[in-house]
Amino acid sequence: MAKYIGKRIALMLMLLIALTFIVFASLYIAPGDPAQMVAGPSATEEDIARIRSVLGLDKPFLVQYGLYLSRLLHFDLGTSYSTHQPIAKEIAIRLPNTLNLAVASILLSIVVGIPAGIVAALRKDRLTDNVLTTASLAGISIPNFWLGTMLIYLFSVKLRWLPSGGMSAPFWTSQGVRQIVLPAVALSTATIASFTRIGRSSMLEVLQSDYIRTAKSKGLSGWIVIMVHALRNVLIPLVTQFGTSFGSLLGGAIITEQVFVVNGIGTYLINAINTRNYPVVQSTVLIIAAMFILINLGVDILYSVIDPRIRYD
């Protein structure tokens, strides 16, 4: 098992290095002279040349990449064109909000989606199953920005139960919880729906399997057959889905943050794109991609915990 995890971590590190290279190269070939951008419109040729040498922009590409890597190791992501603040600091302020939203959404997806899928499978072709299957189809089809707007209209404007946006309070306070409910529901609906569908089909498949029949032939209670013999097998395809879902949650968060006016890295990224703030765009992409890679490492480890066939490979 240690060998397997070691291999996964080595693979992850290689991916991360490849990622930094792609991000750096795209920054390098992006239009516009960074020195000029930093210096501002009133700077003289001399100022720009000085800044260029200070930033190391006059050095060869690979040397610059090396410098970029060493700055990354010191958590230096460069400076924002618009605010002239360190990007790392700006991201550090915003990332917790995004993570807050993503984690709340993934928890909601697990807690609601998986049980719903299992219940649908156990009640196959009955009313409960039909309701859940139809609801999950709707859930996958509804765009999250539309759902978010509708939720705000209903629960904030009409019923006045929950705030329409913001994420000012920490998540452990009641105000923080109230603030996260609507964006988390809007963001997780599609993931809940896909967990339900995959959970249902996975459960149906597992229930047909020989080892479930064996478990039943032992006369174990139905609860043990489901919880001990079926559930772990059901989780395998769901874990796969978890990795992909987390990626789409991060993507979805970018839009959901806009709808709910959350000061997260999604909003940060959108603003940076609108103002052609390249270092910010690239650093944010780097962070999001790195998170995605980390999650997938987690997924790989989770696999080996669930499935001994992977563990002993």
Partner 1 sequence: MEKILEVKDLVTTFRIAKREYPVLRGISFDIHRRETVCMVGESGCGKSVTALSIMDLLPVNAHVASGSIVLDGQELTTLSHRARNALRGEKAGMIFQEPMTALNPLLTIGYQLTEGLRYHKRLDSKTARELAVQYLKKVGVANPVERLKQFPFQLSGGLRQRIMIALVMSLQPSLIIADEPTTALDVTIQKQVLALLNALKKDMDAGILFITHDLGVVAEIADRVVVLYSGMKVEEGPVEAIIGAPRHPYTQGLLHAVPNVDAEDFVIQAIPGTLPHVTEEIRGCRFHPRCPYATERCRQETPVEIEFVPGHRVACWNVKESAR
- Residue placing its CB nearer to partner 1 in the complex, 89 or 213: 213
Angstrom distance (rounded) from CA 132 to CA 151: 20
Between 114-122 and 127-141, two packed helices, what is the crossing angle to 10 degrees? 140
Instruction: Name the minimum Å distance from CB 239 to partner 1.
Output: 12
Binders in 203-232 for partner 1, by CB under 8 A:
209-211, 213-222, 224, 228-229, 232
- Residue placing its CB nearer to partner 1 in the complex, 44 or 208: 208
306 is a site residue for partner 1 (CB under 8 A): yes
| Binding pattern for the stretch 170-209 against partner 1, x by CB under 8 A and - elsewhere | ---------------------------------------x
Number of residues that bind partner 1 (CB under 8 A): 23
Q: Evaluate whether 175 touches 140 at the Cβ level (below 8 Å).
A: no
Instruction: Name the minimum Å distance from CB 232 to partner 1.
Output: 5
3 is a site residue for partner 1 (CB under 8 A): no
261-270 burial, b at 16+ Cβ within 10 Å, e below that, comes to ebebbbbbbb
Q: Evaluate whether 240 touches 42 at the Cβ level (below 8 Å).
A: no
Instruction: Name the minimum Å distance from CB 217 to partner 1.
Output: 4
164 is a site residue for partner 1 (CB under 8 A): no
**Cα separations in angstroms, 192 against 92, 183, 237, 278:** 29, 14, 15, 34
Query: Which of 208, 189, 240 has its CA nearest to residue 124?
Result: 208
Among 74, 84, 160, 309, binds partner 1 (CB under 8 A): 309
Instruction: Name the minimum Å distance from CB 133 to partner 1.
Output: 18
For CA atoms 114, 115, 116, 119, give the dihedral sign: positive
- Residue placing its CB nearer to partner 1 in the complex, 158 or 218: 218
Binders in 103-132 for partner 1, by CB under 8 A:
none
Binders in 227-266 for partner 1, by CB under 8 A:
228-229, 232-233
| Binding pattern for the stretch 10-49 against partner 1, x by CB under 8 A and - elsewhere | ----------------------------------------
Angstrom distance (rounded) from CA 223 to CA 54: 68
Which residues are 175's β-sheet partners? none
- Residue placing its CB nearer to partner 1 in the complex, 206 or 269: 206
Instruction: Name the minimum Å distance from CB 270 to partner 1.
Output: 43
Q: What is the DSSP string of 147-188?
A: HHHHHIIIIIIIS--S-SS---S-TTSHHHHHHHHHHHHHHH
- Residue placing its CB nearer to partner 1 in the complex, 89 or 126: 126
- Residue placing its CB nearer to partner 1 in the complex, 153 or 211: 211
Query: Which of 189, 190, 160, 166 has its CA nearest to residue 257?
Result: 166
- Residue placing its CB nearer to partner 1 in the complex, 50 or 311: 311
Number of H helices, E strands in the chain: 15, 0
Angle (CA) 230-236-242 rounded to 5° is: 130
- Residue placing its CB nearer to partner 1 in the complex, 32 or 308: 308
Query: Which of 276, 92, 118 has its CA nearest to residue 203?
Result: 118
Angle (CA) 155-158-162 rounded to 5° is: 30
Instruction: Name the minimum Å distance from CB 313 to partner 1.
Output: 10
Binding site for partner 1 (CB under 8 A): 209-211, 213-222, 224, 228-229, 232-233, 306-309, 312
